[in-house]
Amino acid sequence: MTDVIDVMEQEIYQNERYESILAMLDRLKKVSVQDLTQKLGVSEVTVRKDLSFLEERGKLIRIHGGAVLAEDEGHLRTIAIRQAEHAAEKRAIARKARELIRPGETLFVDAGSTCSALAREIRDMELRVVTNSLHAILELADSAGISLFSTGGSYRPEACSFIGPGALETIADVQIDTCFMGTTGFSREGVFSSQNVIESQMKSAVIQASRRVVMLADHSKYGTTAFSVFARAKDVDVLVIDSGVGDRQALEALGMEVLIAGLQQPLQVKKS
Protein backbone atom coordinates (compact mmCIF):
# COMPACT_ATOMS: atom_id res chain seq x y z
CA MET A 1 0.00 0.00 0.00
CA THR A 2 2.87 2.35 0.85
CA ASP A 3 4.47 1.64 -2.53
CA VAL A 4 1.23 2.57 -4.32
CA ILE A 5 0.99 5.85 -2.39
CA ASP A 6 4.64 6.62 -3.23
CA VAL A 7 3.99 6.05 -6.95
CA MET A 8 0.89 8.26 -6.86
CA GLU A 9 2.78 11.04 -5.10
CA GLN A 10 5.58 10.78 -7.66
CA GLU A 11 3.11 11.05 -10.56
CA ILE A 12 1.42 14.09 -8.99
CA TYR A 13 4.80 15.77 -8.51
CA GLN A 14 5.75 14.90 -12.07
CA ASN A 15 2.53 16.39 -13.44
CA GLU A 16 3.10 19.51 -11.37
CA ARG A 17 6.54 19.83 -12.97
CA TYR A 18 5.02 19.53 -16.44
CA GLU A 19 2.49 22.23 -15.59
CA SER A 20 5.23 24.47 -14.19
CA ILE A 21 7.36 24.06 -17.30
CA LEU A 22 4.45 24.86 -19.61
CA ALA A 23 3.43 27.83 -17.47
CA MET A 24 6.96 29.24 -17.72
CA LEU A 25 7.01 28.68 -21.46
CA ASP A 26 3.63 30.32 -21.88
CA ARG A 27 4.95 33.37 -20.06
CA LEU A 28 8.49 33.51 -21.43
CA LYS A 29 8.14 31.63 -24.76
CA LYS A 30 11.66 30.20 -24.25
CA VAL A 31 13.35 28.56 -21.24
CA SER A 32 16.75 27.04 -20.54
CA VAL A 33 17.52 23.74 -18.83
CA GLN A 34 19.53 25.66 -16.23
CA ASP A 35 16.61 27.98 -15.41
CA LEU A 36 14.24 25.02 -15.08
CA THR A 37 16.67 23.13 -12.86
CA GLN A 38 16.84 26.07 -10.46
CA LYS A 39 13.12 26.78 -10.59
CA LEU A 40 11.96 23.18 -10.10
CA GLY A 41 14.71 22.04 -7.75
CA VAL A 42 15.52 18.89 -9.75
CA SER A 43 18.52 17.63 -11.72
CA GLU A 44 19.30 18.51 -15.33
CA VAL A 45 18.71 14.85 -16.23
CA THR A 46 15.16 15.06 -14.85
CA VAL A 47 14.49 18.33 -16.67
CA ARG A 48 15.72 16.91 -19.97
CA LYS A 49 13.48 13.87 -19.53
CA ASP A 50 10.52 16.17 -18.80
CA LEU A 51 11.26 18.23 -21.91
CA SER A 52 11.47 15.10 -24.06
CA PHE A 53 8.15 13.86 -22.66
CA LEU A 54 6.44 17.19 -23.40
CA GLU A 55 7.99 17.44 -26.87
CA GLU A 56 6.63 13.99 -27.79
CA ARG A 57 3.17 15.31 -26.93
CA GLY A 58 3.55 18.40 -29.09
CA LYS A 59 3.73 20.87 -26.20
CA LEU A 60 7.22 22.28 -26.86
CA ILE A 61 10.23 22.06 -29.14
CA ARG A 62 13.65 21.16 -27.80
CA ILE A 63 16.46 23.53 -28.72
CA HIS A 64 20.11 23.59 -27.67
CA GLY A 65 20.14 24.11 -23.92
CA GLY A 66 16.39 24.46 -23.45
CA ALA A 67 12.99 24.61 -25.17
CA VAL A 68 10.58 26.94 -26.93
CA LEU A 69 6.79 26.95 -26.98
CA ALA A 70 5.19 24.74 -29.65
CA GLU A 71 1.64 26.00 -29.44
CA ASP A 72 -0.52 28.86 -28.28
CA GLU A 73 -2.43 27.12 -25.50
CA GLY A 74 -4.59 30.19 -24.89
CA HIS A 75 -6.33 29.62 -28.22
CA LEU A 76 -6.56 25.82 -28.22
CA ARG A 77 -9.97 24.24 -28.61
CA THR A 78 -10.61 20.52 -28.64
CA ILE A 79 -11.75 18.81 -31.80
CA ALA A 80 -15.09 17.94 -30.14
CA ILE A 81 -15.83 21.66 -29.83
CA ARG A 82 -14.69 22.36 -33.39
CA GLN A 83 -16.80 19.54 -34.84
CA ALA A 84 -19.93 21.15 -33.44
CA GLU A 85 -19.12 24.54 -34.99
CA HIS A 86 -20.34 25.22 -38.57
CA ALA A 87 -21.15 21.53 -38.96
CA ALA A 88 -23.40 22.01 -42.01
CA GLU A 89 -20.72 23.99 -43.84
CA LYS A 90 -18.09 21.35 -43.05
CA ARG A 91 -20.31 18.58 -44.41
CA ALA A 92 -20.89 20.60 -47.58
CA ILE A 93 -17.15 21.17 -48.01
CA ALA A 94 -16.51 17.45 -47.53
CA ARG A 95 -19.11 16.56 -50.20
CA LYS A 96 -17.52 19.02 -52.62
CA ALA A 97 -14.06 17.67 -51.87
CA ARG A 98 -15.21 14.13 -52.64
CA GLU A 99 -15.86 15.24 -56.23
CA LEU A 100 -12.11 15.72 -56.65
CA ILE A 101 -11.29 12.09 -55.82
CA ARG A 102 -10.83 9.30 -58.36
CA PRO A 103 -11.14 5.62 -57.36
CA GLY A 104 -7.80 3.93 -56.73
CA GLU A 105 -5.99 7.10 -55.66
CA THR A 106 -3.71 7.35 -52.66
CA LEU A 107 -4.97 10.09 -50.38
CA PHE A 108 -3.79 11.74 -47.23
CA VAL A 109 -6.58 12.82 -44.88
CA ASP A 110 -5.44 15.36 -42.30
CA ALA A 111 -6.61 15.63 -38.72
CA GLY A 112 -9.35 18.14 -38.00
CA SER A 113 -13.11 18.43 -37.99
CA THR A 114 -13.63 19.13 -41.72
CA CYS A 115 -11.28 16.32 -42.71
CA SER A 116 -13.19 13.99 -40.38
CA ALA A 117 -16.32 14.90 -42.33
CA LEU A 118 -14.47 13.99 -45.55
CA ALA A 119 -13.54 10.59 -44.09
CA ARG A 120 -17.26 9.91 -43.62
CA GLU A 121 -17.93 10.89 -47.24
CA ILE A 122 -15.41 8.46 -48.76
CA ARG A 123 -16.32 5.34 -46.77
CA ASP A 124 -17.88 3.66 -49.83
CA MET A 125 -15.00 4.37 -52.23
CA GLU A 126 -12.02 2.21 -53.26
CA LEU A 127 -8.93 4.11 -52.13
CA ARG A 128 -5.66 3.99 -50.28
CA VAL A 129 -5.85 6.41 -47.37
CA VAL A 130 -2.92 7.57 -45.26
CA THR A 131 -3.90 9.54 -42.18
CA ASN A 132 -2.66 10.89 -38.87
CA SER A 133 -6.22 11.39 -37.63
CA LEU A 134 -7.71 9.06 -35.04
CA HIS A 135 -11.20 10.12 -36.11
CA ALA A 136 -10.46 9.25 -39.75
CA ILE A 137 -9.04 5.88 -38.70
CA LEU A 138 -12.22 5.07 -36.76
CA GLU A 139 -14.42 6.26 -39.64
CA LEU A 140 -12.63 4.13 -42.24
CA ALA A 141 -11.56 1.09 -40.20
CA ASP A 142 -14.45 -1.12 -41.37
CA SER A 143 -14.73 0.22 -44.95
CA ALA A 144 -14.33 -2.68 -47.36
CA GLY A 145 -12.84 -0.62 -50.19
CA ILE A 146 -10.39 1.41 -48.14
CA SER A 147 -6.76 0.34 -47.68
CA LEU A 148 -5.93 2.26 -44.53
CA PHE A 149 -2.48 3.35 -43.38
CA SER A 150 -1.79 5.16 -40.11
CA THR A 151 1.25 7.41 -39.79
CA GLY A 152 1.81 6.43 -36.18
CA GLY A 153 3.73 8.88 -34.02
CA SER A 154 2.98 10.64 -30.76
CA TYR A 155 -0.70 11.13 -29.98
CA ARG A 156 -1.96 14.70 -29.51
CA PRO A 157 -5.30 14.52 -27.64
CA GLU A 158 -6.43 18.10 -28.40
CA ALA A 159 -6.53 17.35 -32.12
CA CYS A 160 -6.95 13.56 -32.01
CA SER A 161 -3.87 13.45 -34.24
CA PHE A 162 -0.51 11.71 -34.46
CA ILE A 163 2.54 13.92 -34.89
CA GLY A 164 6.29 13.93 -34.30
CA PRO A 165 9.31 12.04 -35.72
CA GLY A 166 7.49 8.72 -36.11
CA ALA A 167 4.74 10.28 -38.22
CA LEU A 168 7.26 12.24 -40.31
CA GLU A 169 9.22 9.04 -41.06
CA THR A 170 6.06 7.42 -42.43
CA ILE A 171 5.33 10.39 -44.70
CA ALA A 172 8.90 10.31 -46.03
CA ASP A 173 8.28 6.75 -47.29
CA VAL A 174 4.98 7.24 -49.15
CA GLN A 175 3.84 8.89 -52.37
CA ILE A 176 0.51 10.68 -52.13
CA ASP A 177 -1.70 11.57 -55.09
CA THR A 178 -3.88 14.10 -53.26
CA CYS A 179 -3.71 15.39 -49.71
CA PHE A 180 -6.73 16.96 -48.03
CA MET A 181 -5.56 19.39 -45.38
CA GLY A 182 -7.30 21.33 -42.63
CA THR A 183 -6.23 24.67 -41.25
CA THR A 184 -6.85 26.71 -38.12
CA GLY A 185 -6.78 29.92 -40.11
CA PHE A 186 -6.00 31.38 -43.52
CA SER A 187 -5.32 35.02 -44.14
CA ARG A 188 -6.46 37.23 -47.02
CA GLU A 189 -2.90 36.96 -48.30
CA GLY A 190 -3.20 33.16 -48.52
CA VAL A 191 -1.17 32.19 -45.46
CA PHE A 192 -2.34 28.95 -43.80
CA SER A 193 -1.55 28.34 -40.13
CA SER A 194 -2.17 26.07 -37.14
CA GLN A 195 -1.81 26.44 -33.37
CA ASN A 196 1.02 23.92 -33.01
CA VAL A 197 4.51 24.09 -34.54
CA ILE A 198 5.03 20.32 -34.54
CA GLU A 199 1.64 19.81 -36.19
CA SER A 200 2.66 22.41 -38.79
CA GLN A 201 5.83 20.44 -39.48
CA MET A 202 3.67 17.39 -40.17
CA LYS A 203 1.37 19.33 -42.50
CA SER A 204 4.32 20.81 -44.41
CA ALA A 205 5.88 17.36 -44.87
CA VAL A 206 2.61 15.97 -46.24
CA ILE A 207 2.28 18.86 -48.67
CA GLN A 208 5.81 18.24 -49.94
CA ALA A 209 5.01 14.53 -50.45
CA SER A 210 1.78 15.15 -52.40
CA ARG A 211 1.21 15.65 -56.12
CA ARG A 212 -1.93 17.71 -55.46
CA VAL A 213 -2.79 19.76 -52.38
CA VAL A 214 -6.42 20.46 -51.45
CA MET A 215 -7.16 22.74 -48.51
CA LEU A 216 -10.52 22.48 -46.73
CA ALA A 217 -11.69 25.49 -44.71
CA ASP A 218 -15.03 26.92 -43.64
CA HIS A 219 -15.67 30.67 -43.61
CA SER A 220 -14.86 31.07 -39.90
CA LYS A 221 -11.18 30.36 -40.71
CA TYR A 222 -10.91 33.15 -43.29
CA GLY A 223 -9.09 36.32 -42.29
CA THR A 224 -7.59 34.69 -39.17
CA THR A 225 -4.07 33.67 -38.24
CA ALA A 226 -2.74 31.08 -35.82
CA PHE A 227 0.56 30.40 -34.09
CA SER A 228 2.51 28.55 -36.79
CA VAL A 229 2.53 28.91 -40.60
CA PHE A 230 2.60 25.65 -42.57
CA ALA A 231 1.68 26.69 -46.13
CA ARG A 232 1.08 29.60 -48.47
CA ALA A 233 -1.15 29.99 -51.49
CA LYS A 234 1.65 28.91 -53.87
CA ASP A 235 1.72 25.52 -52.11
CA VAL A 236 -2.02 24.89 -52.60
CA ASP A 237 -3.69 23.64 -55.78
CA VAL A 238 -7.34 23.74 -54.69
CA LEU A 239 -9.10 25.57 -51.86
CA VAL A 240 -12.59 24.28 -50.97
CA ILE A 241 -14.66 26.78 -48.97
CA ASP A 242 -18.30 27.49 -48.23
CA SER A 243 -20.29 30.42 -49.59
CA GLY A 244 -19.68 32.41 -46.42
CA VAL A 245 -16.26 33.39 -47.80
CA GLY A 246 -17.00 36.36 -50.04
CA ASP A 247 -13.55 36.94 -51.58
CA ARG A 248 -13.39 34.18 -54.19
CA GLN A 249 -11.80 36.34 -56.88
CA ALA A 250 -9.16 37.66 -54.48
CA LEU A 251 -8.27 34.11 -53.45
CA GLU A 252 -8.12 32.93 -57.06
CA ALA A 253 -5.78 35.83 -57.81
CA LEU A 254 -3.32 34.20 -55.40
CA GLY A 255 -3.05 31.23 -57.79
CA MET A 256 -5.39 28.70 -56.20
CA GLU A 257 -8.39 27.05 -57.79
CA VAL A 258 -11.29 27.94 -55.49
CA LEU A 259 -14.37 25.72 -55.19
CA ILE A 260 -17.50 26.85 -53.37
CA ALA A 261 -19.49 24.22 -51.48
CA GLY A 262 -23.21 24.88 -51.36
CA LEU A 263 -25.38 23.83 -48.45
CA GLN A 264 -28.01 21.19 -49.16
CA GLN A 265 -31.49 22.62 -48.92
CA PRO A 266 -34.05 20.67 -46.85
CA LEU A 267 -36.75 18.93 -48.84
CA GLN A 268 -39.98 20.87 -49.07
CA VAL A 269 -43.02 18.71 -48.43
CA LYS A 270 -45.95 19.86 -50.52
CA LYS A 271 -49.29 20.06 -48.81
CA SER A 272 -52.02 18.07 -50.50
Pick the more confident residue, 244 or 99.
99
- Which of residues 70, 87, 104 is at a domain's end? 70
What does the pLDDT read at residue 5?
37
Q: What is the average pLDDT value for the chain, to the nearest integer?
A: 87
Question: What tens digit of pLDDT does each residue of 214-248 get?
Answer: 999 999 999 988 889 999 999 999 999 999 888 89
**Given pLDDT bands bounded at 50, 70 and 90, which one contains residue 90?**
very high
In a domain, 29, yes or no: yes
What average pLDDT does range 162-176 have in this prediction? 94
> Looking at residue 13, which CATH number applies to its domain?
1.10.10.10
- On whether both 117 and 244 belong to a single domain, the answer is yes
**Given pLDDT bands bounded at 50, 70 and 90, which one contains residue 266?**
very low
226's CB contacts (< 8 A; 6+ apart) are 72, 75, 184, 185, 193, 194, 195
Pick the more confident residue, 209 or 196.
209
> Looking at residue 168, which CATH number applies to its domain?
3.40.50.1360
- On whether both 41 and 123 belong to a single domain, the answer is no
Pick the more confident residue, 133 or 226.
133
- On whether both 6 and 37 belong to a single domain, the answer is yes
Residue closest to 220 by CA, chosen among 83, 98, 80:
83
140's CB contacts (< 8 A; 6+ apart) are 119, 122, 123, 129, 131, 146, 148
- On whether both 160 and 40 belong to a single domain, the answer is no
Residue closest to 59 by CA, chosen among 156, 183, 201, 202:
156
Pick the more confident residue, 72 or 204.
204
In a domain, 25, yes or no: yes
**Given pLDDT bands bounded at 50, 70 and 90, which one contains residue 9?**
very low
What does the pLDDT read at residue 222?
93
- Which span out of 67-81, 112-126, 153-167 was modeled with the highest average pLDDT? 112-126
What does the pLDDT read at residue 73?
60
Q: Within 10 Å of residue 136's Cβ, how many Cβ atoms?
A: 29
Instruction: State what percent of residues in the chain have pLDDT above 70.
Output: 86
In a domain, 176, yes or no: yes
Whole domain around residue 156: which residue ranges?
79-261
What does the pLDDT read at residue 215?
98
**pTM as predicted:** 0.76
The secondary structure of residue 239, as a DSSP letter, is: E
What does the pLDDT read at residue 137?
97
Question: What tens digit of pLDDT does each residue of 62-86 get?
Answer: 888 888 877 766 554 444 545 446 6
Alpha helix stretches (DSSP H) within the chain: 2-28, 33-40, 44-56, 79-84, 87-98, 113-121, 134-140, 165-172, 197-209, 248-252
- On whether both 159 and 113 belong to a single domain, the answer is yes
What does the pLDDT read at residue 202?
95
How wide is the angle at C-alpha 120 spanned by C-alphas 116 and 124, nearest 5°?
145
- On whether both 43 and 90 belong to a single domain, the answer is no
CA distances from 51 to 8, 114, 157, 187, 199 (A): 21, 32, 18, 32, 17
- On whether both 43 and 159 belong to a single domain, the answer is no
Question: What tens digit of pLDDT does each residue of 22-60 get?
Answer: 888 888 888 899 999 998 999 999 999 998 888 877 788
- Indicate if the pLDDT at residue 122 is higher than 60: yes
Q: Within 10 Å of residue 167's Cβ, how many Cβ atoms?
A: 24
- On whether both 36 and 86 belong to a single domain, the answer is no
In a domain, 201, yes or no: yes
Task: Specify the number of domains making up the chain.
Answer: 2
- Which of residues 70, 90, 110 is at a domain's end? 70
- On whether both 96 and 204 belong to a single domain, the answer is yes
The secondary structure of residue 85, as a DSSP letter, is: T
- Which of residues 48, 70, 92 is at a domain's end? 70
